[in-house]
C-alpha cells in the first residue's frame, strides 16, 4: 500500500474547513473561500425565504437563494477541477505476468 493511500484511509472520516478552502499547494483559495461564504449566506437567505413564503406566499427569495447556492457550489467545483489539472500523481508501473492474464 502506498503512503498516499495510507494517509487517505487514516483521514477519510475527518472533515476540515481549512482543507475545503485550500488549494493543492496548501494556500487559501479565494474561489473556495468565497464558495463557502456564498453557500452559507444563501442558506440563511433560503431559510428567511421559507418564513416569508409562509407569511406572504412569495417565493422570490427562495428562488434567488437557490441560484446562489448553485453559484457557491460551482466555485467550489471550479477550485477542485483547477487543482486536479495542476497536481500530477506518480503511479508505479506494474508488470503483468502472462500466466496472470485472464483468458480472452
- pTM for this prediction: 0.61
- Per DSSP, 2 falls in state -
Per-residue model confidence (pLDDT) at position 59:
84
Per the model's pLDDT, the better-predicted residue between 21 and 102 turns out to be 21
- Residue 90 in this model has a pLDDT that exceeds 80: no
Least confident range from 29-43, 44-58, 63-77, 86-100: namely: 86-100
Burial of 75 (C-beta count, 10 Å sphere; 0-12/13-18/19+): buried
- Could you read off the pLDDT of 14-28 as tens digits, one per residue? 766 677 777 777 778
Q: Among residues 46, 32, 35, 37, which one has the least CA distance to residue 79? A: 32
pLDDT-wise least confident of 31-35, 58-62, 75-79, 87-91: 87-91
Specify whether the CB–CB gap between 33 and 21 falls below 8 A: yes
Q: How far is CA 59 from the centre of its chain?
A: 28
Q: pLDDT digits over 45-85, tens only?
A: 999 999 999 998 888 888 999 999 999 888 888 777 766 65
Amino acid at each position: 500500500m502506498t503512503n498516499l493511500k495510507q494517509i487517505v484511509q487514516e483521514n477519510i472520516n475527518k472533515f476540515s474547513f481549512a482543507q475545503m478552502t485550500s488549494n493543492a499547494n496548501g494556500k487559501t483559495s479565494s474561489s473556495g473561500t468565497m464558495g463557502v461564504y456564498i453557500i452559507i449566506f444563501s442558506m440563511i437567505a433560503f431559510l428567511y425565504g421559507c418564513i416569508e413564503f409562509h407569511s406572504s406566499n412569495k417565493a422570490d427569495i427562495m428562488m434567488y437563494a437557490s441560484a446562489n447556492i448553485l453559484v457557491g457550489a460551482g466555485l467550489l467545483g471550479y477550485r477542485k477541477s483547477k487543482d486536479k489539472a495542476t497536481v500530477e500523481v506518480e503511479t508505479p508501473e506494474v508488470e503483468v505476468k502472462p500466466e496472470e492474464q485472464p483468458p480472452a
